[in-house]
Amino acid sequence: MKRRNTPTKAAVLSLLAGADSAMSHDMLLEMLEDSVDRATIYRILNRFCADGVVHRVLADDGKQYFALCEDCAQQTEHSHNHFHFRCLTCSRVECLGTEVSVNLPSGYRAENFNGVISGVCSRCG
Amino acid sequence: MKRRNTPTKAAVLSLLAGADSAMSHDMLLEMLEDSVDRATIYRILNRFCADGVVHRVLADDGKQYFALCEDCAQQTEHSHNHFHFRCLTCSRVECLGTEVSVNLPSGYRAENFNGVISGVCSRCG
DNA sequence: ATATTATTGCAATTAAGTCGCAATAATTGA
DNA sequence: TCAATTATTGCGACTTAATTGCAATAATAT
Ligand SMILES: [Mn+2]
Ligand SMILES: [Mn+2]
Ligand SMILES: [Zn+2]
Ligand SMILES: [Zn+2]
């Protein structure tokens, strides 16, 4: 199933590229110019994840946030082992630069990393 | 509002104490002897969290898991800065011992830590 | 231009968790 | 021991996030 280029896909990608923080589904829904169906946005985001274009963060507010893969994609092995910070005041979710390495007990194989720290960011502090 | 002791509360606590992994709401619902309402279990767990008896983990399957506070309660400052591992095969969620310290950008204040790594555990490997 | 099929919109559905309210039962203390 | 107080429970309705089936639409290839 080869991907096709659609206006909505392009618009979502451009929003993610222009954002300085990870975006949730409803943020995108709100920011998109022409009205798009909710399900469509979910599907576009899921495709982006599958294609390694964005990574998904499940935050502690129970919502998924999506961020364009940038630094994480430039690893030798594309991994998303970095934390995200969610501000309880302004509700921005941002990637925290440094990759973290967790050493698991022997015999454990890591497949996915999901690290979120919530608190108050500097601009809301 | 002072807490009262009820059979269900005791049963949930004993299940958590006897478990070798964090438990989700539906696991508890299934394991409880006499049938208990879903909402009651949620409320008991939320009270345990408020009282610092258990800690809550939001895993990357979108469910909440609860683990008795043991090591985490013995810190000078009771904190839950440790990762949890969720096995994609047996779906057990367990606390990974070591406390991790994340250094946030200056001006950021951490309130809550939620770290989950999913993959395959040693017994399923 | 036509055929193929990925993508979309819409409505229905799933899943996790919360909430209001009346009934129940744990605690207190007379 | 009994009655009063009120935390807790059960039940149903509700909220929110996300997924899914299906027919219609539109991007791509020939
Ligand atoms: Mn990435
Ligand atoms: Mn704890
Ligand atoms: Zn903020
Ligand atoms: Zn396992």
Q: Rounded to the nearest whole angstrom, what is the distance from the C-alpha of residue B85 to the centroid of ligand 4?
A: 9
Which residue is closest to D26 in terms of CA–C1' distance? A6
Band (B21; pLDDT cuts 50, 70, 90): very high
Q: What is the mean pLDDT of residues A7-25?
A: 97
CB A92 within 8 A of CB A121: yes
Q: What is the pLDDT of residues A19-68, one digit of tens each?
A: 999 999 999 999 998 899 999 999 999 999 999 999 999 999 999 999 99
Burial class (CB in 10 A: 0-12, 13-18, 19+), A17: exposed
* Whole-angstrom distance, CA of residue A57 vs CA of residue A73: 15
Nearest alpha-carbon partner for B23 in B79, B66, B62, B56: B66
Most confident of B44-48, B70-74, B96-100: B44-48
Distance from residue B44's CA to nucleotide D4's C1', rounded to whole Å: 25
| Ordered DSSP codes for B53-92 | SEEEEE-TTS-EEEEE-STGGGSSS----EEEEEETTT--
d(CA A28, CA A44): 11
Task: Give the model's pLDDT for residue A90.
Answer: 94
Residue A108 has a pLDDT of 97
Torsion from C-alpha of B44, B50, B56, B62, nearest 10 degrees:
70
Contacting residues 37-96/B vs strand C (CB within 7 A): 38-39, 42, 46, 62-64
pLDDT for position A24: 97
Q: Report CA(A51)–ligand 1 centroid distance (Å).
A: 10
CA distance B7 to chain A (A): 31
Q: Which residues of A are annotated as a binding site?
A: 87, 90, 99, 121, 124
pLDDT in tens, B75-101: 878 888 999 999 999 999 999 988 888
In this complex, the answer to whether residue B123 has its CB under 7 A from any atom of chain C, a nucleic strand, is no
Q: In the predicted model, what is the mean pLDDT of residues B16-24? A: 96
The CA–CA distances, whole Å, from B1 to B4, B40, B47 equal 9, 17, 11
Beta bridge partners of B68: B54
- Across chain A, mean pLDDT equals 94
Mean pLDDT of B16-44: 95
d(CA B83, CA B49): 18
What domains can be seen in chain A, in order of their start residue? 7-119 (1.10.10.10)
Task: Choose the closest CB to A117 out of B88, B110, B121.
Answer: B110
pLDDT band at A107 (very low <50, low <70, confident <90, very high): very high
Q: A11-25, A69-83, B104-118 — which is least confidently predicted?
A: A69-83
Ligand nearest the Cα atom of residue B54: 2
Q: What is the mean pLDDT of residues B41-55?
A: 97
